[in-house]
Chains A and B, each alone.
Chain A
Amino acid sequence: MSAHVLLRDRRSESTTAGVRGGSPERRSGPRMQGAATPWLFLLPGLAACLIFNIYPFLNTFLLAFTDARTISPGTFTGLDNFARMADDPRFWLALRNGALYVIGVVPPLVFLPLLLALLVRDKGPGIGFFRTVFYTPVIASAVVVGLIWTWLLDSRGLVNGTLEALGVLKDPIPFLTDEWLLLASAMVVTIWKGLGYYMIIYLATLGRVPEELHEAAQVDGAGAVRRFFVVTLPAMRTTMTLISALSAVAAFRVFTEIFILSGDTAGPGGRDVTLVMLIREVSAGLNGHVGYGAALSLVLFGLTLGLLLSVLRLQTGRKDPR
């Protein structure tokens, strides 16, 4: 949902500035509130964000340049942690897997949910039901989803069982024990679980496509397919960009799917490790290297922010036809 929040945020701001210039709170007349009132309203939320988000964030920044352990605060070591990273084969594996995840997951998560949204946009018998059904995988915990798919993809699970019963296969496909197949399976699970979420974002945007555009195109003799490419797709561009940014960021944050599918091992030889798995691993335990963990966290933060900014820049650089 953060997509359309961010998206609308900017627009709403301009509305406030322009059209709502005369709204009560902007008038210079007597104000019915003390100076402290707004801050009392803000207190719970702002305090929570400052204490549990901003402060840990700043602390992560500081920790990343120390050799802190779980039990000792550590001393300043400059860029040592980052040098260690460069020599850490697991770090490079995690980056590789993150990059592969982006490549494997983002395109399907940009296009398939749009198809779903178009299918359930127009009212018809049972459409509300289908919307709900398509959203169900989003509701379920990644752990539950992971366990369900572990069972489906097991060497004796439904997928292998069905293929064998059909005579397609003799030996089961090692979905969960092969380095590459495990990674691909995790991607399938991520896509399966994410479709409904992005469908809702598309639905919200589809509702805003001006009807006149469709009608004009129809009068001009454009068929459904052409109308899709001429009217719908351009109007969806902003949303598509945001969804690629969101799903790309999510790809680098993946943890549970691989953790559950691999049975906590990060795949054969730990070769399906991800950044988040690595952060947890190195920081865990009484003697965990939290300094190194924090440095890895900074890399994760840098990657996600960089991805977000570059995709958003890509979008604002273009001229939006709307």
Chain B
Amino acid sequence: MTGTRTDPGTPSSSSPPAPRPARPVAKRRVGRRTRTVLRYALLLLIMAISVGPFLWQLSTALKGIGEDIYASPPRFVPADPTLGNFVRVGEVLPVWGYVWNSVRVALATVVLNVVGASLAGYALARLRFRGRRAALGVFILALLVPGEAIMVAQFLMMRSVHLNDTLVAVVLPGMVGALNVLLMYNAFLAQSTQIDEAAMIDGANAWQRFTRVALPSVKGTIAVVAIFAFMGAWDDFLWPLIVLSDPDYYTLTIGLNYLKGTFVGDQRLIAAGTIIAVAPLILLFLTLQRYFFRGVNEGAIKG
């Protein structure tokens, strides 16, 4: 997040560009330097706590069969790093099949959420019609009901239409998240009305105003919705656990739980499996994080 937005509040709150003449300049400079050192020391400490566990897992995944993973003191750098565990985990379990299932579930969820949430959010924020408040109420109500509190009824519903043990059943309950609708609603509300007005005078209909005027200016929020939807689907555990029993349809999280149960003995394999599950997500997030943080601020600052 480096200055992508014109954002008057954030950047200079404690580091004004020029020292104020009224204050003793030299003294403040020194104070600021120690503060900077302290700040970065803290940042590094928290970074160690945040990513340390991931790195330890990666290190375990890279240790070969011959290396003692219980060595005392613990060894962070593998003596002879190997990718063998990633190959082995694919041999003992159809991990790559699980990955493929997760990919399909996550992509379907992203597409359905981005399309459904931006359409609904646009209508709620930008179109005038009777029943708008009631529709908004439905989404807010849906947001208030925790998924865990309706999973039993959702399971019965999927069973009654014979969708249990399909990937469709994994996708359906999360196909348009109420939170995403409200995120898009807020983004569209915050837009300037003038361009919209101009487009209207030019005779653009609602669909044209949506696709040509409104949509292009909420890319940040769309990125947030897409990332949330992808993460939500990729990381979900409880619902797939309930709705899937055929190993052919296992998603990666369910497969990992199974892997843990089957190979309690080999920590390296479990580690390799978790790295396979988390690495794509981290890469995706690193690629999109600029848009993500921009999108988060886009919503907030205009509010």
Binding site for B on A (CB under 8 A): 1-2, 4-9, 11-12, 15-16, 20, 23-26, 31-33, 35, 37-39, 41-46, 48-50, 52-57, 59-60, 63, 70, 116, 119-124, 126-128, 130-137, 139-144, 147-152, 154, 156, 158, 161-162, 164-165, 192, 195-196, 200, 203-211, 214, 218-219, 224, 249, 253, 255-256, 260, 263-264, 275-276, 279-280, 283-284, 290, 293-294, 297-298, 300-301, 304-305, 308
Contact = CB atoms under 8 A, between A and B. Distances in A.
Contacts of A256: 237-238
A298 B149 contact: yes
Most chain A CB within a 10 A radius of its CB, from B10, B39, B71, B286 = B10
Interface in B23-66: 35-36, 39, 42-43, 46-47, 49-51, 53-54, 56-57, 60
B13 A211 contact: yes
A81 B222 CA distance: 44
B171 to A, nearest CB: 10
Given A141-B281, A148-B56, 13 more contacts: A2-B182, A8-B186, A12-B303, A35-B129, A48-B116, A49-B181, A52-B172, A55-B153, A122-B11, A122-B13, A135-B285, A165-B74, A207-B7
B1 A128 contact: yes
A19 to B, nearest CB: 10
Contacts of A156: 70
B231 A139 contact: yes
Contacts, number: 355
Most chain B CB within a 10 A radius of its CB, from A7, A124, A207, A209 = A207
A210 to B, nearest CB: 7
**What 6 A-B pairs are tightest by C-beta distance, nearest first?**
A45-B120, A204-B300, A141-B235, A41-B123, A165-B73, A56-B153
A41 B175 contact: no
Nearest to B115: A44
A42 B124 contact: yes
Contact of A123 (B2, B122, B153, B155): B2
B10 A207 contact: yes
B200 A158 contact: no
B210 A123 contact: no
Interface string B272-303: 01100110011001100100010011011101
Given A124-B36, A204-B296, A49 B13 contact: no
Interface residues of B, number: 125
A191 B47 CA distance: 15
B102 to A, nearest CB: 10
A203 B292 CA distance: 13
A305 B245 CA distance: 32
Contacts of B2: 123, 128
B9 A209 contact: yes
Contacts of B87: none
A200 B148 contact: no
A24 B193 contact: yes
A137 B52 CA distance: 11
Nearest to B42: A119
B228 to A, nearest CB: 7
A208 B224 contact: no
A180 B35 CA distance: 39
A31 B206 CA distance: 10
A278 B303 CA distance: 40
A211 B8 contact: yes
A140 B280 CA distance: 10
A141 B183 contact: no
Given A139-B282, A256-B237, A298-B149, A308 B144 contact: yes
A40 B145 CA distance: 25
Contacts of B73: 161-162, 165
B119 A42 contact: yes
B152 interface: yes
